[in-house]
Amino acid sequence: MIQFRARTPRWIIQLIDILIAGFSLALSYLIRFDLNTDLATIQTEWAVLSKSILFYFLLKFFVFYFLKIHKGLVRYTSTQDLQRILIANVSCSLIFLFSSIFRKNFLDEVYLFPMSILIMEFIFSLSFIVGSRFVIKLLYLESIKSNQTKENVLIYGAGTMGMITKKTIENDTRNNQVVLGFVDDNEKLVGNRIDGITVYSSSKIHELHQKLAINKLIISIRNPNPIELKKVIESCFEVNIAVQKVPDPKTWVNGELSPLQISKIPIEDLLGRTPIALNQKGLHAALHNKTVLITGAAGSIGSGLVFQLMRFNPKKIILLDQGESPLYELENQLRLLETTTILEFVIGDVRSHHRMENVFSTYQPQIVFHAAAYKHVPLMESNPSEAMNTNILGTKCLVDLSLLNKVEKFILISTDKAVNPTNVMGASKRIAEMYAQHKNAMGTTKFITTRFGNVLGSNGSVIPLFQKQIENGGPITVTDERITRFFMTIPEACQLVLEAFVIGDGGEIFVFDMGESVKIIDLAKKMIQLSGLELNKDITIKITGLRPGEKLYEELLADEENTKPTHHPKILIANTRENPVDLSDKIEALINLFNQQNNEEIVQKMKELVPEFISQNSTFEKLDT
């Protein structure tokens, strides 16, 4: 194997370049005479050439030295190095040309070099010097990769981003990847060759794995079709092909892709969701120059709503949360953004009527997004009084103040766990929904409820839990092999909330199309694959049993509910049963039980308010008999 020195002496590079120039000149003369010369011809030409050969080599040496074509490390030859070589050779040829003209007209009426020689010498000299650089660079790249195990790679996306990714991989001397082809959904590209490699159909992943021994697929397409992307990823998983993704070009440093930026794909890409088209005009009209209050602003949905809302230039956003540290972190993020919207960061507890009264009188919000809530099922099952105090009393406090202050719209963020609840958390959210609906006709405020399932990557969701368990070497804990959940991404959830806000006329419970439910154990297996690990070899899955109040399957509609469509295909309106006339009195009685701290009495009262609340895997099951 060729061994390369860390740094070749510069004089050797200069000598090689001069020898290449001399060889180019000799080759030019040979070609001029059709490679067929006799001794007499050589002697005649040498008689002329001998007077200028020293000038030739001296000029080449000084021009090459002055333009520093020998300075760059040959194994790292760049376009800037090639540019200097080109300028050096052009400069030499032009000086030779003008010198020939001068000699012909003012000295001995003989050209320094014939014009044909000058042209050929320029072409050969440039080609051989550039070629020598590339030969050395290729030999160096092969030498440093020869001891590494090759990793065969496909690039998903045969467009500009795919080409940039290929070049980035090939120019990175630290990796051992070999790009064997592109895959693309565009059948018109299939079968063509781009930059020397073939474009294959994205439906042929299995065949390509067998034929080319593919180890990895890199997604390098800006706006892939989510459904096709999901199919490609799942095809890769079926044959244990690792999958990575190139980030959006907006995140590239100085517009250039770094190999280190190519990373594992986010779990969101496995949902296969089509992008949501928002009613931009309607949202701008509804939010422009308005004052908006967001409770739970430092949470996953709350903070996601902040970023979405700022696109529509509200006059002011009040970000309310009781968590000091997460609100501080959100403030630091938002302060970096350029916006005309005034941002107010307020520490406060939605359960404190006096504090909330002060917030409403100080800022006079016109729109309220209520995202503050306790949401962890097992914890709330152990602490029913706190679930009731935050999810019911907190909502009641904000609903009453919104009515009193003539807020235009109040949007309650609810959950699929409020449907046929089997736990205290779900029942508390259902009662909050009922109270908001009940108050809708009692003033000018329009109360709107949005109900959706689990949000990928939100605080406390399974994704961060699984990621932490994988980082710690496992095991991943799943409560039951059969358990399923509906999932959507944070941006998707926030966009649908905004869409429901625009179309809501008050009193509705909007249900979002969550797609197909996902088995949690399948999600865990896919996350293991995304991390480049192998199930039961690198990491295991442990079944721990259902937690208190946990369902096997979530629902978005109760048995007595049905839906009617809206203009948005992903949003439906749930038709719910009528609330009792004395609902406010019953909720007030429930809230008054807080001081007694009698959990069984609190849960019993919840079951009276929500007859479909049947506890599962809980100490409160005895209250249902």
Which are the catalytic amino acids?
Answer: 417
Distances in whole angstroms, Cα of residue 256 to Cα of each of 9, 54, 219, 248, 296? 32, 46, 17, 11, 38
Q: Where would I find the beta strands (DSSP E) of 65-168? A: 151-156
Report CA torsion sign: 274, 311, 487, 221: positive
Beta-ladder partners of 216 = 153, 242
Contact 415, 378 (CB under 8 A): no
What gap in Å lies between CA 496 and CA 515, rounded to an integer?
A: 14
What residues contact 376, with CB distance under 8 A and at least 6 apart? 425, 460
Query: Do residues 546 and 479 make contact, with C-beta atoms less than 8 angstroms apart?
Result: yes
Q: How far apart are CA 420 and CA 430, in angstroms?
A: 9
Residue pair 121/24 in contact (Cβ under 8 Å)? The answer is: yes
Q: Is the dihedral of CA 579, 585, 590, 594 positive or negative?
A: positive
Contact, 450 vs 413, CB < 8 A? yes
- What's the Cα-to-Cα distance from 621 to each of 15, 282, 463, 604, 616, rounded to whole Å? 91, 47, 30, 10, 6
Helical spans, DSSP H, in 213-299: 226-238, 280-287
The Cα–Cα gap between 427 and 608 comes to 11
Residues 6+ apart with CB under 8 A from 123: none
Residue type, 336: L
What does the block give as tokens for 238?
A: 């079926």
Rounded CA separation 282/222 (Å) = 28
Contact 289, 314 (CB under 8 A): yes
